[in-house]
Amino acid sequence: MNRGERARADILDAAERLIAERGIQVPLRDIAVAAGQRNNSAVNYHFRNRQDLIDAIVRRRLEPMERERAEMLDALDGDTDDVRTWLRIMVLPFTQVGSPYYARFLQAASMHLHADVDESQGSVWRKVLERLALAIPTDDRHARARRVSAIATTMFALLAERERLAHEGANAGSPEEIVAMLAAALTAPMPADVASAGASSG
């Protein structure tokens, strides 16, 4: 890694941390200082603007997670409709990303990700969401879509909270606890009014 590549990597690390800790509007000059850059405009040298910086952070973390999810898919023994299997493929790569700030960064930057946070996570992620929807025990496709959308949002919040607790030295729980909580939400019985509405509109 040459000097320019090292400076760029240091800026990405600093930006991820400061956005996670202080929010999306943290001054770019503060990021430059935290990255050890003497020039306060160093961020603008390496990145066109704040959005370009955010996109670069996401790309750097996304690529290894996409590979890990693809490997987890390939390792599946046949077809499965087990909710926890699909949730593990969603959750576990986030816990192996090699950053103690990325989940909180995503939470802080969610309004600045391209499309929405679900669609910005890559093609394997979308495939997993589709299979997860089919594993939900209901024939109401609208209810399935609502639950999958809610579960993705909830997952990011739970991962960010786990990250925060770990940073504070508190008991953060295990990734399997997050999987269990999400599975319980996805498979909870449908209220009678939702089930009947789904039947009448099907």
Average pLDDT of the residues of the chain: 89
Q: pLDDT-based confidence at 85, cuts 50/70/90?
A: very high
Residue 117 pLDDT: 45
Residue 116 pLDDT: 46
**pTM across the whole model:** 0.85
* Token output for 43: 């961020």
**Mean pLDDT to the nearest integer, 176-191:** 92
Reference 61, options 23, 19, 103, 21; nearest CA is 103
150-162 confidence digits (pLDDT tens): 998 899 999 999 9
115-151 confidence digits (pLDDT tens): 544 455 667 888 888 899 999 888 888 989 999 989 9
